Amino acid sequence: AVFTISFGLYSLQSCQCLAWKPHPIITWGAESQHVVAGYSDGTIRVFSISRTEMELKMHPHTGALTAIAYSMEGEMILSGSKDGLVAVSSPLTGMTIRILTDHKGSPITVLQCTRKQYCDFGVEGSELWLATSSDQRVSIWASDWLKDKCELLDWLSFPASASPEGLSSLSPSLAAFCPWEPGTLVSVSFGMQKEALFYSLCKKQVVKKISLPYFAMSLSLSPAAQFMAVGFGERLLRLLHCPTSDAQDYAGHDDSVHLCRFAPSGRRLLTASHSAVLVWELTGD
């Protein structure tokens, strides 16, 4: 059965991005009851799923939001806007405590947080997070939210393919922390080549490249196994087994595969195009 909940609010503004609040690991299968949403008017709204109502509204941006994420423990909300600003806001107080301008001028395409991994990196903090922008740049940060620390750890910049229509016509710049290779992030649609790049934060260099048939439109890495899903504008989904780079291609979408997300178990993959949402069941190792 499929159940839907409608909040019936704020029809004058469009929701641009969503994120579930992390849930403490208490009971296997338990789900968080809060969602944060970013809107076209620059506001952030926190909703209670159980009460079907808005609990908090903040206005950290003047432009439309393009990406949003919770910190690993849910104590902070990171939001990125069309003008390239990244805000750090507290859902407890409703205050915006930090505005980062490093990507100013280019829309934020991805925000992602992960726990600080085995590498010490020589900086304080228990959490790493990254931001990517459509001008082919990615910044990586180390943070300790309780101590109000947020330090730039690394900065990557790649030449973009020439396009007469400008940055808006290029494939989105995407990056994600690699769950099975600590201290490594994976990026696609960066640079001049159709490939996925594995970048080591410890070695400060690209340590692996995987060729792709097209420039990527979406990216997801399995949290449970060494699989990477990449969606393309050519209505194609590719599943890569990363140790061997073995690839399986799947059709079935009616348009560009603009979203792909592994479930926390890693056994299911959700993909979306213009008018189709598909759920894939992964079998084997």
Tell me how far apart the terminal alpha carbons of the chain are, to the nearest angstrom.
Answer: 28
pLDDT band (50, 70, 90) for residue 170: low
Residue 275 binned pLDDT confidence (cut-offs 50, 70, 90) = confident
Condensed to tens digits (0 to 9), the pLDDT of residues 108-164 reads: 999 999 987 655 677 777 899 999 999 889 999 999 988 888 999 999 987 665 554
- Whole-number Cα distances in Å, 223 to 89, 218, 245: 27, 16, 17
Identify the residue with better confidence: 171 or 242. 242
Confidence check: pLDDT of 274 > 90 = no
CATH of the domain at 8: 2.130.10.10
Is the residue at 242 inside a domain?
no
CB 185 within 8 A of CB 141: no
Count: domains in the chain? 1
What is this structure's pTM? Answer: 0.85
Residue 20 lies in a domain: yes
φ/ψ of residue 267, rounded to 5: -90, -15
